[in-house]
């Protein structure tokens, strides 16, 4: 589990083909020093297992499913990713409960900059929009955010200067793909409501 509070931006040092998947080599000295093989780390909100640690480098493997359903499939050397290590029992939960299982891809639809602040709109699959509500939670590229306005096929968030600086969101432009994970509680509520409406026992 994760909180959606990004710990750092890390450099993509290399993307090594390992058909049918790839190996991501990520550089961040401080995080690598606290990381062991087998640890779970979220890259752009997608939970991956550490398969190698070498100095300031961490290595992850991703298969076809991950590459096709997340924006990790677009990564190349020189890009940066949001990094968050998994929660430990007793850690402070400052964001919201994030599983690291990406529900789908969204795209930046509109970016309204106001000095160092930004309101950003994202288009998302309608199946995910039914799990969103104004003032609820959403993880975008692994960043825990509060939903502002929710429409039929898009939603907005208000981004403070700090978030724009320390996450990939500050670099996002119209048309860019982002990883989306809806609130896990919303998933269960939607499932129970559908079950009731269909007349099946809960």
Phi, psi of 51 (to 5 degrees): -110, -5
Given this chain, do its domains 8-85 and 104-195 carry the same CATH topology? Answer: yes
Rg (CA), the chain: 17
Pairwise pLDDT comparison (199 vs 4), residue with the higher score: 4
Domain 104-195 has CATH 3.40.50.11720: no
Please give the Cα distance from 164 to 151 (Å, whole number): 23
CATH classification number, 8-85, choose in 3.40.50.1470, 3.30.200.20, 2.40.30.20, 3.40.50.720: 2.40.30.20
Token digits for 199? 């007349």
Q: Has residue 157 got a pLDDT over 80?
A: yes
pLDDT in tens, 90-143: 888 888 999 999 999 999 999 999 999 999 999 999 999 999 999 999 999 999
Please give the Cα distance from 182 to 144 (Å, whole number): 10
Q: Has residue 19 got a pLDDT over 80?
A: yes
Bond into 51 cis (ω within 30): no
Question: How many residues are given for the chain?
Answer: 202
Please give the Cα distance from 58 to 153 (Å, whole number): 37
Please give the Cα distance from 57 to 104 (Å, whole number): 28
Please give the Cα distance from 119 to 87 (Å, whole number): 29
Q: Which residues pair with 41 in a beta bridge?
A: 48, 85
Tokens 């087998």 belong to which residue? 38
pLDDT in tens, 54-81: 999 999 999 999 999 999 999 999 999 9
Please give the Cα distance from 151 to 43 (Å, whole number): 28
Please give the Cα distance from 77 to 25 (Å, whole number): 9
Residue 202: the pLDDT is: 60
Q: Has residue 199 got a pLDDT over 90?
A: no
Residue 188: the pLDDT is: 81
- The arithmetic mean of pLDDT across residues 181-194, rounded, is 85
As separate numbers, helices (DSSP H) first and strands (DSSP E) second, the chain gives 5, 12
pLDDT in tens, 164-175: 999 999 999 999
Ordered by start, the domain boundaries in the chain are 8-85, 104-195
């Amino acid at each position: 589990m994760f909180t959606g509070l990004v710990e750092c931006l890390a450099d993509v040092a290399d993307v090594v083909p390992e058909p049918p998947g790839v190996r991501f080599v990520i550089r961040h000295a401080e995080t690598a020093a606290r990381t062991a093989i087998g640890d779970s780390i979220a890259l752009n909100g997608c939970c991956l297992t550490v398969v190698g640690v070498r100095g300031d480098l961490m290595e992850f493997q991703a298969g076809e499913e991950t590459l096709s359903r997340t924006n990790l499939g677009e990564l190349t050397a020189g890009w940066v990713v949001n990094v968050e290590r998994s929660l430990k029992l007793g850690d402070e939960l400052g964001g919201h409960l994030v599983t690291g299982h990406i529900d789908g891809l969204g795209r930046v639809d509109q970016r309204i900059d106001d000095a160092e602040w930004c309101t950003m709109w994202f288009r998302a699959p309608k199946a995910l929009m039914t799990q969103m509500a104004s003032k609820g939670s959403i993880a975008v590229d692994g960043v825990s955010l509060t939903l502002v306005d929710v429409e039929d096929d898009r939603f907005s968030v208000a981004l403070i200067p700090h978030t724009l600086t320390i996450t990939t969101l500050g670099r996002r432009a119209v048309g860019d793909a982002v990883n989306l994970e809806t609130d896990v509680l919303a998933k269960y509520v939607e499932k129970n409501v559908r079950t009731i409406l269909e007349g099946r026992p809960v």
